[in-house]
Structure 1
Amino acid sequence: MVEGREAPRYRVKKPAWIEHGGDKIACTVRDLSLTGASLEVSDPRNVPEKFTLVVPEDGLKIACQVIRRAEFRLGVKFE
């Protein structure tokens, strides 16, 4: 299988949250690269197409766009 990602992803398990319009949704970053991430969420249907991902452990606050939705998972690219 050929890997089609722009940058290699690294497996992590970091608590984070999704911010949008004053709302916060808890999530866990499951893998991370320079261009995007995979997020574990309780209900991906409640997450908007664009939002800010906050990872306090890394001091990261970055704009994201959803590119893939699955049960309990989101694939996002960084903007």
Structure 2
Amino acid sequence: MEEHRAEQRRRVLKAGTISFGGGGAISCTIRNLSETGAAPEVESPVGIPDQLTLLVEAEHSSRHCQVVWRKEKRIGVRFAPG
């Protein structure tokens, strides 16, 4: 499998929350993380919009993201600049 990421991600196992417009929020488990993006695991990616905010609970940080891919129970997100 060819690697297309700008930066190699490290495997992690961290609790997170995906939030989006209209007050929607769902719990997730962050499975890998880098300076430029992450791969949260969710029950279902259905209904998750292309723009979202990812809260990494252990780091008390949140990042605005763009969804770049979706699979059965995972999504790939790229962190928005700034």
Higher-strand-fraction structure: 1
Counterpart of 2:14? 14
Counterpart of 2:41? 40
Question: Which consecutive residues of structure 2, in runs of 5 or more, have no partner in the other structure?
Answer: none
Question: Which consecutive residues of structure 1, in runs of 5 or more, have no partner in the other structure?
Answer: none
Counterpart of 2:68? 67
Counterpart of 2:52? 51
Counterparts of 1:57 and 1:65 in 2: how far apart (Å)? 21
Q: State the TM-score, normalized to the length of structure 2.
A: 0.90
Q: After the TM superposition, which parts of structure 1 deviate over 2 Å for at least 4 consecutive aligned residues?
A: 1-4
Q: Return the offset for 1:8.
A: 1.2
Give me the identity figure in percent.
44
- CA deviation map 1:45-73 (0-9, x unaligned): 12111010001211110000100001001
Q: CA RMSD, aligned part only?
A: 1.1
Counterpart of 1:30? 31
Counterpart of 2:77? 76
Q: What SS is found at the alignment partner of 1:45?
A: coil
